[in-house]
Amino acid sequence: MSNLRKKYSEAQNVALLSQVSRICPLCSEPLFYKKAGKSFKSFEIAHIYPLNPTAQEKLLLEHEERLSNDVNDENNVIPLCEICHGKFDKPRTVDEYRTLFEIKKRLIERSGQEAMWKRYAIEEEIGKIIELIYHDPSLEDDTEIEFIPKEVDEKLDSTISRPTKNKIKGNVREYFVFIREKFSELDGAELDLSEIISLQIKAYYLKQKNMGLDQQAIFENIVAWINAKTKPKTNDAAEILASFFIQNCEIF
């Protein structure tokens, strides 16, 4: 018996489109176009594992991992532009299936992270540290800070990419002493504030670790969480803080 194509609700369509940020995840083309001042859809909801696979497709994908046993489940569908949808479906290949599977898997994981942000608080005073990263005049001094990030070297494993590792080490060299001093100043105004924030960071890290994520994913997720909670002007500040907490032993 053939599976019927599900008609997704308006809310489900909005959620699916938000998940891919309103662009085709394969070619990065917008999934809407404007004409005469109005927006029109230029996407289709594609099934990652086929809605009604042919005998050949069943054989082709027999040993491939699936995101849901229900082909109409939101975890098995993704908005694509019409051209990419057509290319993906005909002819279907294992490599293209794996590519879209991994894209959707990462999107699902990111959605889970976003839901987690609400459950994990972080003291709003951390925003003061971020502002100091941008505006404190002492950081404009050309004085070299002699500081070797030994903890980083010892703690980062092979799952961290070389560019990310170098970025973390650079952040630690340039900002660790500065941020540690600023946390100490905050503690003078509010007792043990830095310890509270450290425990919050540690709790979020342990949640990531218990999910079985590698260090690269954990670092990126912690940066995204700090970003979401503090809304800095750029992503750099969240990366600097995450790097500080690696050296300070709350992460990894």
Q: What is the pLDDT of residues 204-240, one digit of tens each?
A: 999 999 999 999 999 999 999 999 998 888 889 999 9
In a domain, 101, yes or no: yes
Residue 37 has pLDDT above 70, yes or no: yes
Domain-located, residue 146: yes
Q: Are residues 202 and 137 in the same domain?
A: yes
**Above pLDDT 70, what percent of the chain?**
94
Higher-confidence position of 116 and 64:
64
Specify the number of domains making up the chain.
Answer: 2
- Could you tell me the residue range of the domain that residue 37 belongs to? 10-117
Q: How many residues does the chain have?
A: 252
Does one domain contain both 35 and 110? Answer: yes
At 113, list the tokens. Answer: 């992270």
Residue at 18 is within a domain: yes
Burial bucket for residue 190 (CB in 10 Å: 0-12, 13-18, 19+): exposed
Lowest mean pLDDT among 13-17, 125-129, 139-143: 139-143
Asked if 25 and 53 sit in the same domain, the reply is: yes
Sequence-separated contacts (24+) of 153-160 with Cβ below 8 Å:
155/246, 155/252, 156/215, 156/246, 156/252, 157/214, 157/215, 159/214, 159/215, 159/216, 160/215, 160/216, 160/219
Residue 204 lies in a domain: yes
Q: Against a cut of 0.85, is the pTM above it? A: no
Is position 1 within any domain? no
Considering the domain architecture, whether residues 138 and 226 belong to the same structural domain is answered as yes
Give pLDDT, residue 114.
87
Residue-wise pLDDT for 102-135, tens only, equals 999 999 998 889 888 888 988 888 988 999 899 8
Indicate the residue among 69, 95, 117 that finishes a domain.
Answer: 117
Task: Sort residue 22 into left (φ over 0), alpha (ψ -120 to 50) or beta.
Answer: left
Do 133 and 103 sit in the same domain of this protein? Answer: no
Domain final position from 93, 117, 141: 117
| Res. 145 pLDDT band, cuts 50 70 90 | low
Domain co-membership, 205 together with 95: no
Last residue of a domain, one of 73, 90, 117: 117
Residues 104 and 132 in one domain: no
Domain identity same for 230 and 138: yes
